[in-house]
Amino acid sequence: MDHPLIPRTGMSALAAVITLAAVASMAACQSPFGFNAPDVQMPDVTIPDVSGGNDPGLPPGVDPYVCQSRWGIEVVADGNLQAALDRFATLEEGVVDLPLSEYGCLRVEREVAGGVVQRLQVYRGAAGVGRWPLARWVRDEAGVTQGQVQANEEDDDASDGAFEVEETIDPAEGRLVRTVYDQVRDVQRRWTLSHIGGVLRSTEEAMVDGALAVTADYDVAPGNETDGVGACDEQPCSDADVARFESLMREVLSKGFRCMAPNDHERGAGRARAMVAMALAWRSAHAWSCVPADCSYTGRFDTDAMTRGEVHITMMPGRSDDYTRQTLFHELTHGFAGLHDPSVLPLIGDDKGQVALERLQATDPANACERFCFGSYPNACNCAACLDRRVCDPVCKDLPSCVVRDPLSNALELSEAVGASCSEGLLDTTYTWYGNMAECQAGCSGDCTSHSRSCDPGCN
């Protein structure tokens, strides 16, 4: 979706792009994916009675018994991570298996054939265990890709092979299905992109009151729907611009994971791991386009490309590094947290004002995560909207309040209730925003939807 030029106070812009760096960097902290969560427990296995030699699951030169003793301790070493990123910067044919941790027990492996990534995985190894996959991505002969991210083993059975995020992309069908599970393998979320009658349809489902329910279902506007003819014609980027975007993307990934992962691990099947699922496909097929400086938007995420197993992002060259980093993160967020729901579109534009911008950043995941992770002075509503929580959640409750008052009259302009959207019309739906549900129900002839982030059930 497009990232329009919208007014900003005390912040630059937004965005995001995912690369293999995501897969590697998630293991950089205390747990397998750097989530500051309890690590994978050593499975109950019988250690083979052998002396010397390597476990068949590990490459030569790696001592599987050292790895067994260091299970759950090994973390990514900066030098190894950088070496892996440098090695994977080109699509080297064949299988490349590289160490991420000091003793090589935490590793990343990639297979390339015909200039296309066929397989990618991050794994741990140890005696008697062989390879324990933490994240993996595979493309089959028909071009169907499947990505999986290992569960956070806080439940009793760490050997059940369950994965928290599974994603299947079928280019022939033009369909993407991403399913997010909790730690007992119950579906918590599902996002489906599919072509129906030549139109790209986005359907989001989530667990509501114990049952999986559709929370958003709409047609995705095709291509560049923002500007008139000429001004936003997308063109190939120069080699220099591509090199700059690739470099800034690595920085974005590092900062984005440091922001999302520690804050989102408690949910288990949260958006941080969906971000990893995005990473699993990035190196397989990604592309850049550029737009001129007089375009009305500075970044765009090509949603349709995802159904073909590609990641395609359009950027405006010439912006500052800070602005470009944030724009990259914003666009990538569409790939793991969803698109702009049509109901938020009335809040987007050049002349909507500061209150509309605050409301947008407390409602729309892409704008919320941008400010929460990359912006200035994030508040509790930004946190809650980004991580899909409430402001009283332990992660969000200590951040500044969402309340905005008129500086002259002290009148309340925005609260934790955030606002409510009114949808009117069936075939040609229009959306209007109100300050709260009471105002919406009084003035809307259609359906009202609360976007409250408050923990008070009466504050909507």
Residue 407 lies in a domain: yes
Residue 409 lies in a domain: yes
Of the two residues 288 and 216, the one the predictor is more confident about is 288
- pTM beyond 0.85, yes or no: no
**Best-predicted range by mean pLDDT (35-49, 140-154, 383-397):** 383-397
pLDDT band at 219 (very low <50, low <70, confident <90, very high): confident
pLDDT above 60: residue 152 = no
Distance CA 357, CA 393 (A): 23
Residue 422 lies in a domain: yes
pLDDT band at 280 (very low <50, low <70, confident <90, very high): low
Please say whether the dihedral angle defined by the alpha carbons of residues 387, 390, 391 and 397, taken in this order, is positive or negative: negative
The confidence score (pLDDT) of residue 440 equals 92
Indicate the average pLDDT of the chain: 75
pLDDT above 70: residue 134 = yes
The confidence score (pLDDT) of residue 324 equals 95
Distance CA 107, CA 23 (A): 10
Least confident stretch, 198-207, 344-353, 361-370, 442-451: 344-353
Burial of 117 (0-12, 13-18, 19+ CB in 10 A): buried
Residue 460 lies in a domain: yes
The confidence score (pLDDT) of residue 272 equals 67
Inter-residue contact 311 to 235 (CB < 8 Å): no
Phi then psi dihedrals of residue 342, to 5 deg: -55, -25
Burial readout 277-296 (b: 16 or more C-beta within 10 A, e: otherwise): bbbbbbbbbbebbbbeeebb
The mean pLDDT of 119-131, rounded to a whole number, is 82
Q: What percent of the chain has pLDDT over 90?
A: 16
pLDDT above 60: residue 146 = yes
Question: At which residue do the structure tokens 């850049």 appear?
Answer: 288
- Could you report the per-residue pLDDT of 67-99, keeping only the tens digit for each? 888 887 777 777 887 788 778 777 789 999 999
Using CA atoms, how far residue 340 sits from 219, 278, 344, in Å, is 11, 17, 7
The confidence score (pLDDT) of residue 270 equals 61
The mean pLDDT of 143-168, rounded to a whole number, is 58
The mean pLDDT of 357-364, rounded to a whole number, is 89
pLDDT band at 412 (very low <50, low <70, confident <90, very high): confident
Residue 177 lies in a domain: no
Least confident stretch, 256-260, 283-287, 404-408, 438-442: 283-287
pLDDT above 80: residue 381 = yes
Q: Distance between the two ends of the chain, CA-based, in angstroms?
A: 28
Of the candidates 399, 409, 459, 457, the one whose C-alpha atom is nearest the C-alpha of residue 435 is 459
Using CA atoms, how far residue 53 sits from 43, 347, 360, 381, in Å, is 21, 63, 58, 55
pLDDT band at 36 (very low <50, low <70, confident <90, very high): very low
The confidence score (pLDDT) of residue 316 equals 94
**Best-predicted range by mean pLDDT (27-31, 128-132, 213-217):** 213-217
Instruction: Count CA atoms closer than 13 A to 438's CA, side-chain side.
Output: 4
Residue 455 lies in a domain: yes
Inter-residue contact 306 to 278 (CB < 8 Å): no
Residue 402: count of CB within 10 angstroms of its CB = 25
The confidence score (pLDDT) of residue 199 equals 87
**Best-predicted range by mean pLDDT (51-60, 186-195, 215-224):** 186-195
What is the span of the domain harbouring residue 411?
344-350+373-460
The mean pLDDT of 384-402, rounded to a whole number, is 89
Of the two residues 276 and 290, the one the predictor is more confident about is 290
Tokens representing residue 266 in the block: 């408690």
Residue 286 lies in a domain: no
Using CA atoms, how far residue 238 sits from 13, 183, 301, 317, 337, in Å, is 22, 45, 19, 9, 30
Compute the radius of gyration of the chain from its Cα atoms.
23
The confidence score (pLDDT) of residue 60 equals 86
pLDDT band at 143 (very low <50, low <70, confident <90, very high): confident
Structural domains of the chain, count: 1
pLDDT above 80: residue 370 = yes
Residue 448 lies in a domain: yes
Of the two residues 232 and 98, the one the predictor is more confident about is 98
pLDDT above 60: residue 359 = yes
Of the two residues 443 and 263, the one the predictor is more confident about is 443
Of the two residues 182 and 430, the one the predictor is more confident about is 430
The confidence score (pLDDT) of residue 325 equals 94
The confidence score (pLDDT) of residue 94 equals 93
pLDDT band at 17 (very low <50, low <70, confident <90, very high): very low
